[in-house]
């Protein structure tokens, strides 16, 4: 019988769960197997899950492993995704590893796929190593970062509301510098889906750029009021969910009415600001494909021209706009089930909007910040061209 404890130890190695953003969040999702290797079940939930919170359907994995010895120890683990249909298993043939003292220099290690899961074997130095599906970015990290920017000229940190578990949904506004030009509101949103940490690093890249002394940044601050919502799903992020706010919670990338406090906070803030421009940042797991989902063919194609396929990183754009989506699905209109916030802001405020997908494979945290800055300036350049 497998042994389970709150802090699961096996000799000099111990798996740590329960921290902000751990997945599985409880040691109940971790076991020591008869051969003294570990088993981790990322789909563990405190209650039965739906959508990507159901066994075999998730993409999130985040544990810490402590080596209490004074020499390297081999860590062997079966990451049991419980994917018996193997519909997603090919997305899990790698893991991100952050060794002690490495800052944010995550490294990619291959895993060996097996029926329903993947084996990971790695030599760990003394100390605590973080192993995850994507580089780690917690709710607490987001709040700390945004508060650090609140002292910048024209910056304001606040909360747009609370989640079901009463966590504040943090926001940062960058007010325009004095200008005689008409001011436009642009909203940048991320982390609708709990596992998609790329959006946080992209937002950091945008904010670092806009609060710098770079001439282009100062010019943009004269023309636009920037609204950043980098952590729209604080409960899901904190509690180790994959896509939803809870095991049977809300999908915050869907604008249909949902009985969820975070969803209501997002909608209320959108209705208050009525942004003319809107960006929502995600990261799927496809290794070689970035996602560019616009509201019109003209916008999408011009964006791809100004920010071409990143072939040097092994990436190409998957491009889609509303008419193309409807043609592919043989539909006459976007259904309530699939309508997202970019559809909402178009329908209600005639906003120019895009959903961007930037997968982590082969990219560093700093590179993701650079992609964020590049995508923001490209988005604005395209809007200037077509509006």
Give the CA distances from residue 321 to residues 77, 256, 334, 355, 377, in Å, rounded to whole numbers and listed in that order.
Answer: 42, 20, 11, 10, 20
pLDDT tens readout for residues 45-85: 999 999 999 999 999 999 999 999 999 999 999 999 999 99
Largest Cα–Cα separation, the chain: 72
Interval 11-41: pLDDT, tens: 999 999 999 999 999 999 999 999 999 999 9
Residue 180 vs residues 152, 176, 273, 300, 381: alpha-carbon distances, Å: 22, 11, 20, 31, 20
* Cα–Cα dist 255/236, whole Å: 17
Among 171-175, 181-185, 309-313, 314-318, the least confident range? 181-185
Whole-angstrom distance, CA of residue 48 vs CA of residue 41? 14
Strands of the chain (E only): list them: 8-10, 13-16, 30-32, 38-40, 62-67, 73-83, 94-98, 107-110, 112-114, 116-124, 127-132, 155-162, 168-174, 184-190, 224-229, 277-282, 289-294, 316-320, 352-357
Indicate if the pLDDT at residue 2 is higher than 50: no
- Asked if residue 24 has a cis previous peptide bond (ω within 30° of 0), the answer is yes
Q: Which residue has tokens 């329908």?
A: 347
State whether residue 108 is helix, strand or coil: strand
Task: Give which of 152, 99, 153 is closest to 122, Cα–Cα.
Answer: 99
């Amino acid at each position: 019988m497998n042994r389970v404890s709150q802090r699961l130890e096996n000799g000099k190695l111990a798996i740590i769960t329960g921290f902000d953003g751990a997945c599985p969040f409880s040691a109940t999702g971790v076991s020591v197997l008869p051969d003294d290797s570990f088993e981790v079940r990322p789909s563990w939930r405190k209650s039965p899950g739906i959508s990507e919170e159901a066994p075999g359907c998730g993409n999130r994995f985040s544990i810490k492993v402590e080596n209490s010895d004074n020499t390297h120890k081999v860590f062997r683990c079966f990451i049991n995704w419980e994917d018996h249909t193997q519909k997603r298993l090919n997305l899990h043939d790698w893991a991100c590893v952050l060794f002690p003292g490495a800052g944010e220099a995550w490294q990619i290690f291959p895993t060996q796929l097996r029926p329903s899961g993947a084996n990971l074997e790695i030599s760990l130095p003394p100390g605590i190593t973080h192993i995850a599906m994507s580089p780690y970015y917690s709710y607490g990290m987001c709040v700390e970062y945004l508060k650090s920017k609140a002292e910048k000229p024209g910056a304001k940190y606040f909360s747009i509301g609370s989640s079901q578990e009463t966590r504040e949904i943090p926001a940062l506004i960058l007010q325009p510098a004095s200008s005689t030009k008409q001011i436009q509101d642009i909203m940048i949103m991320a982390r609708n889906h709990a596992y998609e940490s790329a959006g946080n690093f992209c937002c950091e890249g945008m904010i670092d750029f806009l609060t710098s002394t770079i001439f282009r940044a100062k010019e943009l601050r004269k023309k636009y009021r920037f609204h950043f919502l980098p952590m729209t799903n604080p409960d899901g992020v904190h509690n180790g969910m994959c896509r939803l706010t809870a095991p049977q919670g809300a999908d915050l990338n869907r604008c249909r009415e949902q009985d969820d406090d975070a969803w209501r906070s997002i909608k209320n803030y959108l209705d208050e600001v009525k942004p003319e421009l809107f960006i929502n940042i995600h990261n799927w797991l496809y290794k070689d494909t970035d996602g560019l989902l616009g509201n019109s063919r003209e916008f999408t194609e011009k964006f791809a021209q100004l920010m071409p396929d990143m072939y040097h990183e092994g990436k190409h754009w998957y491009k889609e706009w509303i008419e193309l989506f409807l043609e592919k699905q043989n539909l006459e209109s976007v259904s309530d089930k699939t309508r997202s916030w970019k559809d909402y802001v178009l329908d209600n405020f005639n906003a120019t909007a895009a959903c961007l997908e930037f997968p982590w494979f082969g990219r560093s945290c700093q590179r993701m910040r650079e992609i964020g800055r590049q995508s923001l300036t490209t988005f604005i350049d395209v809007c200037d061209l077509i509006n």
